[in-house]
């Protein structure tokens, strides 16, 4: 099976994005249409507020209130704390890499509009299914001829005239040093989330902005030497959240995240130049006012060619064997086994990564809210 440069799969990101956008528009339109015959506006406002606060907030794996990995636009009430522990399994390409991570998060409502959070994954395990697809697993003596990435051997000559001036590498975008089956620490993520509009305050929709700083727990040189599971560089991201409660206890959540990546370096030398990422997520909570809820979400990741939406710089070009933009779905349940504690169990599936050996994954998450009480 031959390699193909990711730029040759340019149609894949466009089609994936079109599916996400179309899904959001159609789902929002359908639910809004079904909501047209609802009670008068005052009753609707009360129902929306109640649906948002009648159960304890549950954090996503990222720390803020949400589903599995997608957050709603709500923040925690002032003085409320949440904690969560989770297992998360998924796959990426090239290399048919399966990632299993164990992590936990803490969050606190500072004001009714601001939540601060921390997330850490003390355990990440990488399983390499197709090592020949990765630049770091090429035979000794291979030419390290990838533009602005001296650690990589080129796997694909690419077009005759290309912006990255040479062959493309083969690496996993978020795990650029993955090469052997290995376990490692993950980074620490710290940040805050500001809620501008909230249904709990009578607004028609909830809107938020989340800022995160992804802090490495090891140097890039150490990660390269040990085939580690993090980049070793300080990255940061901005996430726009929008959520809406509908009749029958349905909550729709949408996230758009822009991840700014920085170059991993060793002794002042740049090891590679990863491109920024745009991450789109959409999720639904069904029976949001009940102790047993149904959850479903979809996410996709688009790698930019450089920074600032591809306007600045040139990234280390990657290769793929099939689609290069991962799109995955998650379906599962949330069970409030106590008034302020919940268990989330979900099945995760890589919808378009046909080239990976294991497309199945999962999320298990247990969480607890503190100092929260159900409104009278």
Q: What is the pLDDT of residues 285-323, one digit of tens each?
A: 999 999 999 999 999 999 888 888 777 778 888 887 778
The dotted CATH code for 4-370 is: 2.40.160.40
The beta strand positions in 247-318, using DSSP E, are 250-260, 265-266, 269-270, 277-286, 292-303
Indicate the SS3 state at residue 288: coil
Say if residues 136 and 149 touch (Cβ distance below 8 Å).
no
Positions of the chain with pLDDT under 50: 1-52
pLDDT at 11: 43
Question: Dihedral (C-alpha) 217, 223, 229, 234: value to the nearest 10 degrees?
Answer: 50
Q: What is the pLDDT of residues 78-104, one digit of tens each?
A: 999 999 999 999 999 999 999 999 999
- The sign of the CA dihedral 307, 311, 313, 317 is positive
Indicate the SS3 state at residue 221: helix
Q: How far apart are CA 271 and CA 37, in angstroms?
A: 59
**How many CB atoms sit inside 10 A of residue 223's CB?**
26
DSSP assignment string, 72-107 = -S--PPTT-EEEEEEEEEEEETTTTEEEEEEEEEEE
Q: With CA atoms as reference, report the closest residue to 169 among 139, 146, 150.
A: 146
pLDDT at 110: 96
pLDDT at 374: 65
| Reduced DSSP (H G I as helix, E B as strand, rest coil) percent helix, strand, coil of the chain, to 5 | 15, 40, 40
Domain boundaries, the chain: 4-370
């Amino acid at each position: 099976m031959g390699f193909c440069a990711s730029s040759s799969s340019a149609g894949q990101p466009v089609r994936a994005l079109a599916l996400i956008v179309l899904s959001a528009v159609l789902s929002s339109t359908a639910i809004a249409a079904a909501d047209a015959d609802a009670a008068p506006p005052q009753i609707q406002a009360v129902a929306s507020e109640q649906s948002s606060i009648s159960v304890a907030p549950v954090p996503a794996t990222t720390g803020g209130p949400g589903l599995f990995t997608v957050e709603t636009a709500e923040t925690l009430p002032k003085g409320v704390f949440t904690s969560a522990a989770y297992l998360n399994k998924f796959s990426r390409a090239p290399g048919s890499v399966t990632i299993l991570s164990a992590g936990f998060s803490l969050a606190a409502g500072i004001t009714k509009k601001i939540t601060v959070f921390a997330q850490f994954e003390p355990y990440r395990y990488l399983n390499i299914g197709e090592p020949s697809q990765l630049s770091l697993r090429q035979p000794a003596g291979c030419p390290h001829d990838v533009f602005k990435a001296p650690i990589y051997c080129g796997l694909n000559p690419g077009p005759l005239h290309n912006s990255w001036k040479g062959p493309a590498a083969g690496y996993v975008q978020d795990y650029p040093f993955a090469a052997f089956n290995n376990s490692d620490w993950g980074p620490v993520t710290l940040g805050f989330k500001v809620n501008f509009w909230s249904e709990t305050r009578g607004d028609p929709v909830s809107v938020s902005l989340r800022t995160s700083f992804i802090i490495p727990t090891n140097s890039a040189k150490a990660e390269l030497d040990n085939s580690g599971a993090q980049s070793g560089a300080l990255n940061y991201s901005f996430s726009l959240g929008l959520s809406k409660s509908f009749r029958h206890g349905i909550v729709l959540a949408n996230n758009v995240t822009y991840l700014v990546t920085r170059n991993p370096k060793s002794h002042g030398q740049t090891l590679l130049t990863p491109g920024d990422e745009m991450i789109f997520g959409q999720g639904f909570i069904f029976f949001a006012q009940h102790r047993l809820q149904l959850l479903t979400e979809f996410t996709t990741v688009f790698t930019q060619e450089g920074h600032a939406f591809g306007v600045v710089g040139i990234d280390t070009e990657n290769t793929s064997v099939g689609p290069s933009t991962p799109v995955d779905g998650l379906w599962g349940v949330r069970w409030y086994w106590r008034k302020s504690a919940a268990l989330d169990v979900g099945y995760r599936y890589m919808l378009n990564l046909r080239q990976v050996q294991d497309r199945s994954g999962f999320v298990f998450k247990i969480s607890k809210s503190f100092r929260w009480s159900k409104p009278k």
